[in-house]
Amino acid sequence: MNRFILIFTYIISSYIFYIPVSLAANQTNGITFTQNNDILKRAALYLNSLTTLVADFHQVSPNGEISNGKFFLSRPGKLRIQYNPPVPIVMTINGSLISYYDYELDQLSHSTAHDNLASFLTRKNISFFSSDIKVKMVDKSKGLIRIKLTKANKSKDGELTLIFNDYPFTLKKLDITDAEGNTTSVSLSNTNFGTKIDSKLFVLTKKAKY
């Protein structure tokens, strides 16, 4: 088992940015400029309405390897990705800190979460019109909405695609594409909203039991 198959392995140092949407530059599915912006506003409204989200995740890596685990989001500022055995990995975002723990090797590492692709979901005020984000694609088809994000000034560093169910509007899937074009797909299921989450889950320490 490749232990470096984290959901955000390919984007742990990649960040998302945006410049005002131009349909001439962005791929759409036959939707107008107004519809494009309405979709982005709707998605932001939904994401900003979330306080907590707990879900199971099913991950498919670029080589077809499958792993599962638990996804915890507590807004603003906190995210936890916990893999089921045999993958000995837990990753958290807590404010400006990303922590990565391999509990089999008892190795704990940290990096900054500022503008990280993963940390986009933890922002206090999510907007697809922020000056630091580039929206590359807005697509609406077959009951799904897809919004693809990348860096404004480093678009080659990777992309994050948020996939929503249209009705009811819910976050369904995340596709993470690295700088080489390899995509990891993460599907969410058994999603619960507004569940109280212990803040200790977002603080990783060595030799902790996960």
Higher pLDDT, 60 or 154: 60
- Rounded to whole angstroms, how far apart are CA atoms 191 and 115? 25
* CATH superfamily to which 9-193 belongs: Lipoprotein localisation LolA/LolB/LppX (2.50.20.10)
Exposed, middle or buried: residue 69 (CB in 10 Å: 0-12, 13-18, 19+)?
Answer: buried
**Token duo for residue 46:** 């939904």
* Dihedral over alpha carbons 8, 44, 139, 74 (to 10 degrees): 30
User: What does the domain layout of the chain look like in residue ranges?
Assistant: 9-193
Query: Could you read off the pLDDT of 147-194 as tens digits, one per residue?
Result: 999 877 765 678 999 999 999 999 999 999 988 889 999 999 999 999
Across 17-26, 39-48, 56-65, 68-77, least confident range = 17-26
β-pair partners for 138: 28, 147
Q: Are 30 and 38 in contact (CB under 8 A)?
A: no
